[in-house]
């Protein structure tokens, strides 16, 4: 029996929760500058550092601004994941 649960489409003007991974270190005290997102870091096996930012962004414009800020800090963006879509089960 096919799953009849209807998948909601992300709209550019709605908030969503994202996980963004960048290569390099961004200290936790930068949280205010990255839309209040939670900042965590981990070391790879080659000892390089990946920083993960997780949190709610008000809309697609805010996400674009956040990604631009990370790019201006010369932090290569590795992944951007919408956690709301992943957790919806659709």
Q: What is the mean pLDDT of each run of 10 residues along the chain (90 residues)?
A: 57 91 86 82 95 94 93 94 73
Work out the end-to-end distance of the chain between its first and last CA atoms, rounded to an integer number of angstroms: 15
Structure tokens at 33: 């500058």
Q: What pLDDT score was predicted for residue 1?
A: 46
Q: What pLDDT score was predicted for residue 74?
A: 93
**Domains with residue ranges and CATH for the chain:** 16-81 (3.30.70)
65 φ, ψ to 5°?
A: -60, -40
Q: What pLDDT score was predicted for residue 33?
A: 74
Q: What pLDDT score was predicted for residue 49?
A: 96
Structure tokens at 7: 């998948």
Q: What pLDDT score was predicted for residue 63?
A: 94
Helix (H, G, I), strand (E, B) or coil at 32: helix
Q: What pLDDT score was predicted for residue 21?
A: 97
């Amino acid at each position: 029996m096919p799953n009849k649960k209807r998948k909601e489409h992300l709209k550019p003007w709605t908030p969503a929760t994202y996980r963004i991974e960048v290569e390099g270190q961004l200290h936790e005290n930068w949280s205010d500058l990255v839309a209040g997102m939670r900042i965590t870091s981990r070391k790879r096996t080659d000892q390089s550092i990946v920083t993960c930012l997780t949190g709610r962004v008000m809309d697609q414009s805010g996400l674009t601004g956040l990604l631009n800020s990370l790019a201006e800090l010369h932090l290569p963006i590795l992944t951007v994941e919408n956690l709301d879509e992943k957790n919806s089960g659709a």
